Amino acid sequence: MDAGKTLRAIGGAVVFFGLALVLALLMLLSVFAGMGSAEAQCAQQSQSESLFGYPTDRQQIDGDWTFIHKGYDFKVDEDAKVYASHDGKVVKASDGEVRIRREQVETRYKPMKTITVRDGAEVKRGDPIGTTGILDEGTDGQGAPIGYSGVHLHWEMWVDKENNNDWSIAPIPEENPFIVQTPEGGDPCNCIDGNLSGSNNQQKAFNFFVQNGFSKEQAAGIVGNMIAESSVEPQRLQNTDPGVISKPADVVDSPLGWGIVQWTPAGKMINPSRDDGVQDEVIGSLAYQLEFLLKQLRGQGPLPEKPAGDALKAATTVEQAAYEFGHRFERFLGHENPNHQTYVERKANARRVFDQFAGSAPAGGGANPASTGGGCGAGSGNIAEVAKNLAWPEGGHDGTDASLAKPEFVAAMEEYNDGSSGYLPYSDCGRFVATVMRMSGADPEFPKVSTGVQFDYMQSSGKYDYWHGEPPGGMKPGDILNGPGHTYLYVGPWGKEGGGYNSASGSLGQHVPEATHLYGVGGQFWVFRLKNAPQAAS
């Protein structure tokens, strides 16, 4: 498919749908032409984290795009690095300005004190293109400033809507183009933050705790403290500005606090999470950190804080909840004094959270979907991601009892299979594969049990391609291996670092679902691949 021809066909109508649609069309048509819709969506997510990369290390917009201020401003120091927001060709690199063009979209960066790219150069998203300088953006007719004056970066987006080299400023974006816009219903490609509900991190955190048995007052008290600690930014390091991202690998040895509740030192929660096989990308996510904190308050996990959780659960007002969480969990310097000034701030934060979100909060008292098998990845069609959500990320989980299985798998068995019925069901390899196939929605008719029955079904249903040997082009995440008496799933590299895992399986009478290794292809096992199945996101 020719992206340019397609865009010309829709002509000027494109611009009226806003920036997000323009870019989505460019990316989907020029990069993912020919893919199925689910596959394309997952591929787009795996290709980039957002429509554009932030052009500075400060990952927060300081000057918004308005009808008189055409673009975004970033307050950074002089000589701060500037980066390309997307792949493209440099069409201007002079007079304190860089312009990068891709198809019918062009981004512009100014003021540039230094420029390190040249006209005609091909750049990739994230490539350095120079450093920031000083610019006065002027005033409007009443003398009010338009944007920032002095040191900052001004970023603009232009479009050639008719594809006739007639460039005009893009319409005001409806969404921040530098952050991931999660599709309604969650991200079908992975299980990071996909089941949190809310318009921003504050509301997502508030809803999470309400769904997990806390009152609205108690949830507001927790989030009020989070705002004071981190602005509810999961990758924020102590003493850094809001919007500045510090990844786990960069802060694990720091003595400072990090994360939504500023675990101190940062490695306090990063290291035990890594020890459990959790990847850094997940550790830095809001969903994971909320789960980690929830376990602490319940007295579970490597850093139990049950006294804090009990005191919080006894709180009946917003202000009391804010105090108990600050005093017993955060334990900031001076927390022993109930009249400390920071309590005033935290209580005020909590009251604002309650007033803003309590009226639209979901039903409470249950379990958040992100922490049970009924949630993450359900209905996504993504076999590998659901399998990884239901199996332990390492080996060594020997035994057959439900208490040994991952809680997500136990919950999924109740909803998508026969639960505790049958012979040693939580270690049954066939039940694990069937639960994954049914929960993901990839094949809701997949037989619930018996590897032989499943083998015959996959050969005769017409839904699967199959080979007695490695498929042409190699294995793909989501492939099912089935042979006499056993079946398991290939999911691609995953699990505890250094383990070399690439598969997931249960083993009847031996172990519950866990990370395993690929073996027996072309010998004991046939490989079955669901036709038109989406690929797992990286």
Please answer whether residues 364 and 211 qualify as being in contact, where contact means their C-beta atoms are separated by less than 8 angstroms: yes
Q: Is 229 exposed, middle or buried (0-12, 13-18, 19+ CB in 10 A)?
A: buried
**Structural domain of 450:** 374-530
Beta-bridged to residue 481, according to DSSP, are: 488, 527
Q: Is 363 in the same domain as 425?
A: no
Amino acid letter, 143? G
Q: Is 379 in the same domain as 354?
A: no
d(CA 137, CA 154): 9
Residue 432 tokens, joined: 């694990």
Q: Give φ, ψ of 381 to 5 degrees.
A: 80, -5
Among candidate residues 295, 283, 280, the one with its CA nearest the CA of residue 259: 283
Within a domain: 196: no
Q: Is 396 in the same domain as 460?
A: yes
Within a domain: 136: yes
d(CA 90, CA 128): 12
Q: Is 415 in the same domain as 348?
A: no
Residue 457 tokens, joined: 């079904």
d(CA 352, CA 228): 13
Give, in degrees to the nearest 5, the angle at Cα 44 between 39 and 50.
150
Specify the pLDDT at position 282. 80
Which CATH number belongs to the domain containing residue 4 in this structure? Answer: 2.70.70.10
Tally Cβ neighbours within 10 Å of residue 223.
31
Within a domain: 190: no
Q: Is 379 in the same domain as 404?
A: yes
Q: Is 320 in the same domain as 341?
A: yes
Q: Is 88 in the same domain as 155?
A: yes
Within a domain: 125: yes
Domain boundary among 181, 216, 245: 181
Within a domain: 195: no
Please answer whether residues 401 and 428 qualify as being in contact, where contact means their C-beta atoms are separated by less than 8 angstroms: no
pTM assigned to the model: 0.45
Within a domain: 2: yes
Please answer whether residues 347 and 355 qualify as being in contact, where contact means their C-beta atoms are separated by less than 8 angstroms: no
Q: Is 47 in the same domain as 168?
A: yes
Number of domains in the chain: 3
Q: Is 18 in the same domain as 87?
A: yes
Cis peptide before 265 (omega within 30 of 0): yes
Please answer whether residues 210 and 360 qualify as being in contact, where contact means their C-beta atoms are separated by less than 8 angstroms: no
Q: Is 165 in the same domain as 207?
A: no
Please answer whether residues 207 and 362 qualify as being in contact, where contact means their C-beta atoms are separated by less than 8 angstroms: yes
Q: Is 274 in the same domain as 399?
A: no
Specify the pLDDT at position 363. 58
Within a domain: 410: yes
Residue pointed to by tokens 């895992």: 501
Q: At what angle do helices 19-31 and 37-47 cross, to 10 degrees?
A: 100
Domain boundary among 308, 335, 369: 369
What's the full length of the chain, in residues?
538
d(CA 382, CA 478): 7
Specify the pLDDT at position 376. 62
Which CATH number belongs to the domain containing residue 455 in this structure? Answer: 3.90.1720
* 292 Cβ contact list (under 8 Å, min separation 6): 269, 273, 301
**pLDDT profile of the chain (538 residues), mean per 10:** 34 36 39 31 41 84 83 91 92 96 91 95 91 76 64 91 83 76 44 62 89 92 96 94 89 96 96 84 87 92 94 96 96 90 93 88 49 52 86 93 90 91 95 94 93 97 95 91 96 80 95 95 95 52
Which CATH number belongs to the domain containing residue 211 in this structure? Answer: 1.10.530.10
Domain boundary among 369, 396, 426: 369
Please answer whether residues 426 and 400 qualify as being in contact, where contact means their C-beta atoms are separated by less than 8 angstroms: yes
> Is residue 301 classed as helix, strand or coil in its secondary structure?
coil
Please answer whether residues 289 and 226 qualify as being in contact, where contact means their C-beta atoms are separated by less than 8 angstroms: no
Specify the pLDDT at position 14. 36
* 29 Cβ contact list (under 8 Å, min separation 6): 1, 3, 6, 7
Within a domain: 318: yes
Q: Is 342 in the same domain as 410?
A: no
